[in-house]
Structure 1
């Protein structure tokens, strides 16, 4: 299919990608193969696997995974699919000495190797050493765990290092204590919109805030809103107006392509990880953190800190519900026969344009092999 987007046109003259980018399941399939399976994708937190034997599971565009810490303390990740008949092996999260498939009892060590395969002793050409769980490249960055599903992010001829992708963000986030935050809560939101609608909304330079988030808008000084763009990331910074103490002196919104947002404000930080679940649905996982020195106990000072924390998380929940409403409205509009493409605000939406350029770069290598017809629906 023709992606109908010209990245060489500057943002001042460019049109946005056509609606089919958000409604055609074949575009989602292109994204699965060329974006999410070939990039460093945030999937969870390092504190979830702090001890040997601890594990958590998830799914990225139809690829079940398990992240764990083995007996030696090494962080590992595997495709969470039994080598017998493809049943998912590990369930949810927990602590285990080994991973046992619930279907036929195949059992795997924490290094991924196959320990037992019941009633397979007389099979010809069956070598248990060749039937371990397929490994996945795993890395940590600050409190986060990221995976490279195909083991060679960026493709066989273009290996990518997470440190290179994240390099422009490391300095600014380190200055804000990114490495030393304490996790406090997770909230998960299901949204009836394409995952890119959520990303577009988050990268629009605060354009929508004055209209969709009146409460948040009062706390921000938009005249100083600035955006820095990098090869696979962006940083948006806005000074606080002083009207909302939870925001501190400024708010920093960092984004790592394709699906990770890191928002730092006041004594808090939240991370947003967005996963496509269908062409018109996505899941967004919010994790909330506080500075490590924020009190956490039972005395009066600690109680007051917790009260401020609950208030801040509650305010974030209100903002997210407002975003859900506007993003789902946008998805409905993208399905209209009247809408094909739009325009960018060159003053505010340079990061949105950069995101679309990055997507085009990753999708265009394969897009020409797909028919130009435009069916709707589909999931991953």
Structure 2
């Protein structure tokens, strides 16, 4: 990638977003709207960081596969005949046709265009009528493979095959959520993801914003988890994730009209964990909303500077789904959750519109927005490291890109 188009003055301005929260301001608006910045962000984050793509439970048997897409990169994730989880590009190395769509079970992947065929490990095993092509070696034309790591039952990939492991940098997060035993939690495959018309960071920030909860969501479906009971455990920007805790007014609170858990409680939860909701985050792609009886996971997949797709999944304690009344109880949870999500999405869309305005501010933070400070520190560390690696223009002409609008 060439050096970023934003001038040094823009990157210098980011320091204002990583001060103590009492002095800090939001990121410049162009971080949410600019096509140039989105291209820079692909290199700074998506080419280097671990990206969640789904659950290992989606790949129960050898040959099981699913496809996904992150920052316009089509991806296949599959279980090989030896039981290994592999991830690779879905782009045929002949003429760029996609070799797989959706999910299912296969012995390999055949490009429907010219019938080049690949094994479950991505190796090219068949290329019809290529015998007269000079110096053609099938071993040189396999599907590009990615690094894979499984964390708490979630599959992460990294386009950088030499990336440092993920789990050691998530030790604090893993310890805080260990009682959920997410590797053994159960849940259905998420429905196809909608396209959402706002920047991925608007979504990630909303997922972790304790400040708005008692205001936007005020009423009987949310008042049991007041913003005033938010806590933000310390995190370091070099770590791979961060946490937000929010105390509840009673044990085993959950989103439904009764305000109490209806489904089986995750058996490993301590009393302390049962008196709060936990928000665990592995940017840039995974956000977890954790209650005593249900976990909502959000996998964020940008597809442009002002849009994303988001896989929304649910996890439950082992055996919970076998209860004959499970569906009815879940309907009660989802009715409340859908109401809250609709409020959030309406706000997210309007925030994106506001960020396009010449009057978009670099606003100040409340103490109840501690997770935004953590997120800013995580982001800015990576933005500056990539700027230093690639270099940046020393000056700019025309509009000063450090301006928040």
The residue aligned with 2:356 is 335
Shift of 1:185: 5.1
1:1-380 pair list within 5 angstroms: 1=6, 2-3=10-11, 4-6=13-15, 9-153=19-163, 160-184=164-188, 186-187=190-191, 188-204=193-209, 206-215=210-219, 216-230=221-235, 231-242=239-250, 244-246=259-261, 249-296=275-322, 302-345=323-366, 347-367=367-387, 369=392
Contact 1:138 1:148 in 2 (8 A): yes
TM-score, length of structure 2 as denominator length: 0.84
For these two proteins, the number of residue pairs brought into alignment is 363
Contact 1:23 1:194 in 2 (8 A): yes
Compare the two structures and name the one with the higher strand fraction.
Answer: 1
Structure 1 distance, partners of 2:378, 2:247, is: 28
The superposition leaves residues 243-264 of structure 1 with CA deviations (integer Å, 9 ceiling, x where unpaired) of 6113863211111122211121
Structure 1 distance, partners of 2:58, 2:249, is: 36
- C-alpha spacing 1:115/1:375, structure 2 compared with 1 (3 Å): farther
CA RMSD, 1 decimal: 2.1
Shift of 1:151: 1.5
Shift of 1:39: 0.5
The superposition leaves residues 107-131 of structure 1 with CA deviations (integer Å, 9 ceiling, x where unpaired) of 0111211111011011111111111
- The 3-state SS of whatever aligns with 1:291 is coil
Deviates more, 1:7-16 or 1:40-49: 7-16
Structure 1 distance, partners of 2:400, 2:335, is: 39
Gaps of 5+ in 2: 1-5, 251-257, 263-273
Shift of 1:304: 2.6
Structure 2 distance, partners of 1:141, 1:325, is: 32
TM-score, length of structure 1 as denominator length: 0.90
Gaps of 5+ in 1: 154-159, 297-301
Contact 2:214 2:226 in 1 (8 A): no
- The 3-state SS of whatever aligns with 2:343 is helix
Structure 2 distance, partners of 1:375, 1:115, is: 53
- The 3-state SS of whatever aligns with 2:280 is strand
